[in-house]
Amino acid sequence: MDVLKGQVVALENENEQLRNSVQSFNDNLVVLNTTVADTCSQVADNNSELQKLKSEVEQLKHRNIKLEAHTCQENIKIFNLPEITNEILSDTDSFNVC
């Protein structure tokens, strides 16, 4: 009879340890679920920010192309004009282009 009581006490102790382990796992699971939810929210925010940045980069590329095209409109190419050797800059100051 004492042997059975000892086995029952041992089983009750083991059962209590298992309950404590299950409770600990449940607590950890709640923390993990909260962390996953926070991470998913952060990922969604990051994806939104990434899309905004990609859109902004595309707009900046387009503006850069337009700016390059605009600055090229003002450029003049002169062909078949011989270069003057030993040119003095003060001589070119006397020309009024505009």
**Can you tell me the distance from the alpha carbon of 92 to that of 52, in angstroms, rounded to the nearest whole number?**
50
**Can you tell me the distance from the alpha carbon of 10 to that of 13, in angstroms, rounded to the nearest whole number?**
5
**Can you tell me the distance from the alpha carbon of 22 to that of 28, in angstroms, rounded to the nearest whole number?**
10
**pLDDT band at residue 98, thresholds of 50, 70 and 90?**
very low
**pLDDT band at residue 94, thresholds of 50, 70 and 90?**
low
Residue 68 has pLDDT above 80, yes or no: yes
Q: Is 54 helix (H, G, I), strand (E, B) or coil?
A: helix
Residue 97 has pLDDT above 70, yes or no: no
